[in-house]
Structure 1
Amino acid sequence: MKPAMYQWHYQAPKKEEITPLITYLNTKKLPENLATLLWNRKVQTEAEIEQFLNPTIQSLHDPLAIYGMEKAVERIQLAVENSETILVYGDYDADGITSTTVMKEAIELIGGQVKVYIPNRFSEGYGPNVDAFAKEIESGVSLIVTVDNGVAGHEAIDYARNQGVDVIVTDHHELPEELPNATVIIHPRHPNGNYPFGDLAGVGVAFKVACALLDDIPYEFLDLVAIGTIADLVSLTGENRTLVKIGMKLLQETDRIGLRALCKEAGLQVEKVTGENIGFIIAPRLNAIGRLGDATPGVKLMTTFDEEEAIVLAQTIQKKNEERQAIVEKISCEAFQMIAEQDQHSVYVLAKEDWHEGVLGIVASKIVQKTGRPTFVLNIDAAAQTVKGSGRSVEQLNLYDALTHSSQLLTRFGGHHMAAGLTFPYENLDSFQLQLDAYVDEHNIDFSIGQPLLIDEEMDIADASVAFIQSLDLLAPFGTDNPAPNFAFSPKQVVQIKRIGATQQHLKFQLLDNQQNGLDCVAFGKGEEALELQEQDLTATFVGKLNVNEWNGLKKPQLLLVDYQISGLQVFDYRGGRAKELPRLTEATQYMVFEEKNLDLVPSYVTPEAILTPKTISSEHPVVSNLVVVDCPVEVESLRDVLIQGNYQRIYLQCASKDECYLDGMPSREQFSKLFRFISQHKNIDIRYKLKQIASFLQLKENLLIFMIEVFSELEFVTIDNGVMNQIENPKNQQLNDSQAFKRREAKIKSEEFLLYSNLTTLKDWFLKQEEKK
């Protein structure tokens, strides 16, 4: 059994609910299979379907409906008329870079003199900065326009206003209770406004200002709007969906030579760029420069008209991204090692010197995704004796609330339910861990319950065709609030299992149904779980997202695995000399050894506490999920006793036997008689040195001869004194099966026949029956 990592929720509308949708889709000659998916996305009327599938630019809301927009436009126009120098003050992530570019170009289009300033993540931090404002004001700036930041910049904005400089804030982040004293604040959720859509990204807000400034819709900015909106993980519904869906088409035709150069460096064809490409390829590259240093080259890349400069900038950004990836990989490896070595905690607090602060949030996210535990990844500044970093969470724990509970330990912190940043003295590190653990205990938070995973539909493998998958593009772009559909498959077989990737970190296999229809499956980051799928007669369900894999002109359906679960008991076959293939099991495991002579078959890394023997089986042991049956018991009932004692989910059958009784069989009566006559005809037989000769003479295997002598000795047919054997005169009349050794061999033959030579299906059925007897 392998439980799912997530908590699965099947979304299954009733047939009568989607019948009207199917009828409408048929009239539009659209695939019927979209009905369920649209319903699950709350797109349930004809008008909603039309707007969702075919959003138009005319559906965009009036930019002047945003509170303060007229005032902002008037002030920018006045600055242009008076030839004032306008500073566009941006942010260092992909949304900030695209927002800055849109605002810069929009003001320049009406003749404005524009400077750009993006603060440094490390030396200046996020948002308005007094020193930066002071320097720019001194250089002649008389109007500052923030993009993708500003609503929390009270101090710097007050400073600028006191210097006689106007500040227009354009932002989309959470509004504080007290707004800064800006000249005007452009925010889709402004408390004095009633704009119909409040989830614009920073670049979306900048675009709205551009629309108002130009009194038109500047299509040339929509490629950037698509990138920034997807990158910032805002809701891809409503107005954002319209902006991104139209922007994606324009991105594929973009004239921005910098964007084209970046795509080329990343191995993308601009003409085929998808929302997924933006989220996983373009956005990380734009984010990388700000994570590792100055993000200004990102704006230069978006605005340059020089092809050579574009190539150089794209190459620089590509190198920064590769550097970022290497840093993330290094810190991730170190962090996972720390988790393996430390005591189990409810929340992971991982801190080390020389961890790059720009990527700690990425590492924390990777750990949360892998473990399902809230995680803080922190850099220790030994010189300053401070700790600084990022946290990421799961649904069960509100990070901001947990940090508020420990605020007396912290110098500063900020964030929300799922993410946070924090700084505190190094001396508080242990106390911080303890307080987090205590907070989880006090609130009875259970992290064993996985995060919710919405599953759109259970599908047959045969239905996952290329045509079906291509029809899903009608629902794109996918992202927050419009996730790519998840489909569940329950195959008859899992075959062609292999690890792939430079470090074998990924997994590829194929799902087969009863008719041998196949579906390729790729599981990123699950290379170590190949063992889970090796079992025959697997009862499992796989959940993932469908895409089309194209190679050498051949298109094939493919499932990108999100999660899977295996039901019932799992039995893995490592019999018949395959023991050396048994991997080192990372989960708690017990190794059952029935005969003391076979203890050397247990791997050297196994601790004594993990080894079970007939003497220790009745003792109390920790409950573990894995059992390795190292050797074959004399009687099958002995294994049954072990199973009754435990609650195993995975059984690994090694069942080694140094002298296989089943293959050698039981000596015949004639062979016993022949040995008896030999002993009666010879005196003082030295069995220490002459066993081989005797075995050869009697045409017996040596191990069989030893067994037969053991039977005779037990039945008192012979005496053995210092290795010398003689017949007993007039022995007591006994049957061979009166001997315990004889009975033990009979039982061992049956045990080996069953455990070593039954097929795995038969054995699994037997194991399941033992479970039922508990």
Structure 2
Amino acid sequence: MIKPKTRWDVGQWTPVQDERAAKLAAALKLPPLVARLLVARGVDEPEAARLFLEAGPEHMHDPYRLKGMEEAVERIRRSTAEGGKIRIYGDYDADGVSATSLLIRLFRRLGYDFDYYIPDRLKEGYGLNRPAIDQAAAAGVRLLLTVDTGMSAVDEVAYARELGMEVVVTDHHEPPEVLPEAHALINPKQPGCPYPFKGLAGAGVAFKLAHALTGEPPLELADVAALGTIADLMPLTGENRILVRCGLAQMRGGSVPGLRALAEKANVNLAAVTAADVAFGMAPRVNASGRLSHADHAVTLLTTERPEEAEEKAALLDGLNRERQKIVDAIVREAEEMWEARCDRARREGETAPPVIVLAGEGWNVGVIGIVASKLLEKHYKPTVILSVDGETGLCKGSARSIDGYDLHAALTSCAELFEHFGGHQAAAGMTLHRDRLAELERRLGEWALRTLTDEDWIPKTRVDLVCALEEASVETIEQLDRLQPFGADNPSPRVLIANVNVADRRTMGKDGKHLKLSLAGGGRLLDAVGFGMGGYAEQLAQGAYVSVIGELAMNEWNGNRRPQLLMKDLRVEQVQLFDLRGEREPLAALRAVLERTAARERSAAVLAATQAWAEAAAGAAQPEQGAENGTLSFYTFESMPAEGICCEELVLLGEPASGERLAAVLERCNGLEAVHAIYRQERASPGRTRRFPGREQFAKVYQLLRRAERLPERGLSERLAAMAGLPADTVEMMLDVLPNWHLSNGAKEAYM
């Protein structure tokens, strides 16, 4: 038995969904698994599925359906006609940089008189600010055009108007109750906006403005629009799918020097770039510019037409990203030490560790604390707040990340009086408060967690799209799954469950055996499954065990050959596993090896010896420090085992049991048992003694008979199976005592239970 690391959330599947999937598969000639996946994601009509898979630029929405677009276009064109200067005012994150760069490239092509401005993250903070507006007025700017910002800048927009400037706001953030009185507001989320797709990024809104200004989708600008959309974790559904698909195609053409140089520094093959490459390779380097220096470097990279300048800026951003990684690692180490000390203090005071992590450090870089919060959450799976303290003022600026079930915004709202200001949503938030209120913040957020979360909520959850039969994992199916790309927010890479398949082979890969490779068998098929960082499971899996795995189907291409494989994320074994070590020449050496592995995994173990002499030998062979603490290692003979039973996860049989009946009775009295290690040489059967512990091959034969059975008799089950398997009936009866019910088919379960 191996417990999964996470809760597996497998969606319910209904007969109605089966019918819809069959209809889709027939209409679009799709493999059944692909059709089921589309239905599971709410795309359950043939025409909707066709659009999801094939929609192109011709399916983009009319930009003038965005409220405020007509007024914005009229004002920009009037500014150009009158010779007025336009200033693009952007944001310092990858979305804001992409939106700014998109309009710079467009305005250059259209010959507009313009410049741009992005505030310094550390000195000015987010959004419009009065000194920047003063600077614009002094520079003769008549029209201020915001991208990816401005929706909440009520006072700043009014101030700009007082100075004689008009403001056009393009944004995608949630609008506040009071909107700025700008000349035009473009935001698909604003009240009264009829635009049918609400998930545009700031760069996506800028792309729609460019579409309106040019009269057609400017596909040559889709690359930076895709970069911003992916980086800002916008849903890759609806119009964003078209935009990102077109943008990735544009990137693959390699026409933009900055994107070529950026991809090279990120070790991305631009000719085959995917959304994942952008998200994990290219976007972090663009973000590093605004986090540690100034976003101007990233804007220059994305807008320059000179390859040498692009290479220079890409190298700079790559260096900043490496610096960012070092800063993050250093803060994570400090934060981990603080958390350990906080937990130690709680233990000394007889308390449990706080349910919410709240940590603050003086001088921590504000630009990266959100990343630090994400890393601590990933390790500890607790809502996490990380704050940087200003030593002079005592003010703390923080970023928070949450777990499923913990509504971060609601929790912060419940103690709103503690903050100077805060904002965010269920999963992420930002806030400012004084350091004197940190202890109260920890207490209040912890109380909210204890009130609102169940025990189950503290276990990480893995969403599984579908159950997949082993024979469905074919080259054709995986090729068709690629049509669901680009993968990202709201359209993640499909995750499947392959249940109860045999481990035909297992081995470790890579340096120090860090990775795991399994060969899964079932239905006459074999499938390779690879688990990166899962090498420790190799010694926990018994040969021939039945395992359930979740992961992502992928293509393994090597030397011109293409084979399907599963990239594993988690696994479980639900039955008690048998490790058959009866061929070992040195039983006590084998025992020591088992106990070493058990102790390293901090698991409870018991040794059952056939005789007292074996028990004493085992106790002498076991090193005292291995598992001896807290009574986690015990030694018994079959006769001395307590009548009330024992608690152990690992049971070692040292010496052959006297009979199958005795072994079955012992196993029934082991609570929490997950694995049995049989360590002894099996003697030849003597006359009249037929019932002995079965071998691996015999177990496998009975397993297969039960799995194939549609219906088995309630009475005489062991005799029937014995006749089918060619084994003694009492041996099969003992095997049924050990076998868990989950191995049986539905019909056999009903009979056996």
Which amino acid in 2 is paired with 1:543? I
Asked whether the equivalents of residues 598 and 650 of structure 2 are also in contact (C-alpha less than 8 Å), the reply is no
Name 1:162's counterpart in structure 2: 162
Please, which of 590, 593, 601 is the counterpart of residue 622 of structure 2? 601
Please, which of 16, 20, 30 is the counterpart of residue 19 of structure 2? 16
Please, which of 629, 648, 657 is the counterpart of residue 672 of structure 2? 648
Asked whether the equivalents of residues 576 and 740 of structure 2 are also in contact (C-alpha less than 8 Å), the reply is no
Cα distance per residue 1:661-687 (max 9 Å; x no partner): x999xxxxxxxxxxxxxxxxxxxxxxx
Asked whether the equivalents of residues 98 and 224 of structure 2 are also in contact (C-alpha less than 8 Å), the reply is yes
Asked whether the equivalents of residues 92 and 290 of structure 1 are also in contact (C-alpha less than 8 Å), the reply is yes
Please, which of 443, 446, 460 is the counterpart of residue 437 of structure 1? 446
Q: Which has the larger radius of gyration?
A: 1
CA distance in 2, matches of 1:542, 1:551: 24
1:376 corresponds to 2:380:
no
CA distance in 2, matches of 1:529, 1:344: 29
Name 1:7's counterpart in structure 2: 8
For residues 39 and 548 of structure 1, do their structure 2 counterparts lie closer, same or farther at Cα, with a shift above 3 Å needed? same
For residues 612 and 268 of structure 1, do their structure 2 counterparts lie closer, same or farther at Cα, with a shift above 3 Å needed? closer
Asked whether the equivalents of residues 604 and 627 of structure 2 are also in contact (C-alpha less than 8 Å), the reply is no
SS at match of 1:358: coil
CA deviation after TM superposition for structure 1 residue 561, in Å: 2.3
Please, which of 410, 429, 454 is the counterpart of residue 464 of structure 2? 454
Asked whether the equivalents of residues 643 and 771 of structure 1 are also in contact (C-alpha less than 8 Å), the reply is no
Which amino acid in 2 is paired with 1:118? I
CA deviation after TM superposition for structure 1 residue 585, in Å: 5.5
Name 2:547's counterpart in structure 1: 540
Please, which of 393, 396, 400 is the counterpart of residue 409 of structure 2? 400
CA deviation after TM superposition for structure 1 residue 100, in Å: 0.8
Name 1:139's counterpart in structure 2: 139
CA distance in 1, matches of 2:520, 2:436: 56
Which deviates the most, 235-244 or 566-575?
566-575
Name 1:508's counterpart in structure 2: 516
Name 2:704's counterpart in structure 1: none
Which amino acid in 2 is paired with 1:117? Y
Please, which of 10, 24, 28 is the counterpart of residue 25 of structure 1? 28
Asked whether the equivalents of residues 505 and 543 of structure 2 are also in contact (C-alpha less than 8 Å), the reply is no
SS at match of 1:7: strand
CA deviation after TM superposition for structure 1 residue 484, in Å: 2.2
SS at match of 1:323: helix
Name 2:208's counterpart in structure 1: 208
1:463 corresponds to 2:464:
no
1:417 corresponds to 2:417:
no
1:590 corresponds to 2:604:
yes
CA distance in 2, matches of 1:430, 1:619: 51
Name 2:508's counterpart in structure 1: 498
Name 1:694's counterpart in structure 2: none
SS at match of 1:604: coil
Name 1:521's counterpart in structure 2: 529
Give runs of aligned pairs for residues 348-747 of structure 1, distance below 5 A: 348-352=357-361, 355-381=364-390, 384-446=393-455, 447-448=457-458, 450-451=460-461, 453-460=463-470, 462-490=471-499, 491-493=501-503, 495-498=505-508, 500=510, 507-514=515-522, 517-527=525-535, 529-532=537-540, 534-570=541-577, 576-578=588-590, 579-580=592-593, 582-583=596-597, 589-590=603-604, 592=606, 598=619, 601-602=622-623, 604=625, 608-611=629-632, 626-627=649-650, 647-648=671-672, 650-651=674-675
1:111 corresponds to 2:120:
no
SS at match of 1:495: strand
Which deviates the most, 137-146 or 4-13?
4-13
Which amino acid in 1 is paired with 2:8? Q
SS at match of 2:294: coil
Name 2:724's counterpart in structure 1: none
For residues 530 and 265 of structure 1, do their structure 2 counterparts lie closer, same or farther at Cα, with a shift above 3 Å needed? same
Name 2:98's counterpart in structure 1: 98
Give runs of aligned pairs for residues 180-199 of structure 1, distance below 5 A: 180-199=180-199
For residues 625 and 420 of structure 1, do their structure 2 counterparts lie closer, same or farther at Cα, with a shift above 3 Å needed? farther
Which amino acid in 2 is paired with 1:508? L
Cα distance per residue 1:5-33 (max 9 Å; x no partner): 1332245453433332233124xxx5555
CA deviation after TM superposition for structure 1 residue 234, in Å: 1.5
For residues 13 and 478 of structure 1, do their structure 2 counterparts lie closer, same or farther at Cα, with a shift above 3 Å needed? farther
CA deviation after TM superposition for structure 1 residue 144, in Å: 1.6
Name 1:222's counterpart in structure 2: 222
SS at match of 2:672: coil
Which deviates the most, 283-292 or 180-189?
283-292
SS at match of 2:430: strand
For residues 351 and 496 of structure 1, do their structure 2 counterparts lie closer, same or farther at Cα, with a shift above 3 Å needed? farther
Which amino acid in 1 is paired with 2:7? Y
Asked whether the equivalents of residues 97 and 298 of structure 1 are also in contact (C-alpha less than 8 Å), the reply is yes
CA deviation after TM superposition for structure 1 residue 628, in Å: 7.1
SS at match of 2:267: coil
CA deviation after TM superposition for structure 1 residue 420, in Å: 1.2
For residues 53 and 557 of structure 1, do their structure 2 counterparts lie closer, same or farther at Cα, with a shift above 3 Å needed? same
CA distance in 1, matches of 2:600, 2:146: 51
Name 1:78's counterpart in structure 2: 78
Name 1:669's counterpart in structure 2: none
Which amino acid in 2 is paired with 1:287? N
Name 2:41's counterpart in structure 1: 41
For residues 624 and 257 of structure 1, do their structure 2 counterparts lie closer, same or farther at Cα, with a shift above 3 Å needed? farther
Which amino acid in 2 is paired with 1:551? W
For residues 526 and 422 of structure 1, do their structure 2 counterparts lie closer, same or farther at Cα, with a shift above 3 Å needed? farther
Asked whether the equivalents of residues 394 and 418 of structure 1 are also in contact (C-alpha less than 8 Å), the reply is yes
CA distance in 2, matches of 1:444, 1:32: 38
Asked whether the equivalents of residues 632 and 755 of structure 1 are also in contact (C-alpha less than 8 Å), the reply is no
Asked whether the equivalents of residues 571 and 650 of structure 1 are also in contact (C-alpha less than 8 Å), the reply is no
Which amino acid in 2 is paired with 1:550? E
CA deviation after TM superposition for structure 1 residue 400, in Å: 0.7
CA deviation after TM superposition for structure 1 residue 306, in Å: 0.8
CA distance in 2, matches of 1:756, 1:353: 63
Asked whether the equivalents of residues 244 and 477 of structure 1 are also in contact (C-alpha less than 8 Å), the reply is yes
SS at match of 2:367: helix
CA deviation after TM superposition for structure 1 residue 327, in Å: 3.8
Instruction: Determine what percentage of the aligned residue pairs are the same residue.
Output: 35
CA deviation after TM superposition for structure 1 residue 194, in Å: 1.2
CA distance in 2, matches of 1:645, 1:356: 56
Name 2:175's counterpart in structure 1: 175
Name 2:725's counterpart in structure 1: none
Which amino acid in 2 is paired with 1:456? L
CA deviation after TM superposition for structure 1 residue 42, in Å: 2.3
Structure 1 unaligned blocks of 5 or more: 665-749
Asked whether the equivalents of residues 87 and 141 of structure 1 are also in contact (C-alpha less than 8 Å), the reply is yes
SS at match of 1:357: coil
CA distance in 2, matches of 1:264, 1:382: 40
Name 2:706's counterpart in structure 1: none
Cα distance per residue 1:316-339 (max 9 Å; x no partner): 222222333344445456656666
CA deviation after TM superposition for structure 1 residue 375, in Å: 2.5
Q: TM-score, normalised by structure 2?
A: 0.78
Which amino acid in 1 is paired with 2:427? M
Structure 2 unaligned blocks of 5 or more: 344-351, 582-586, 609-614, 684-688, 701-730, 742-753
CA deviation after TM superposition for structure 1 residue 398, in Å: 0.3
Which amino acid in 2 is paired with 1:441? L
CA deviation after TM superposition for structure 1 residue 222, in Å: 1.1
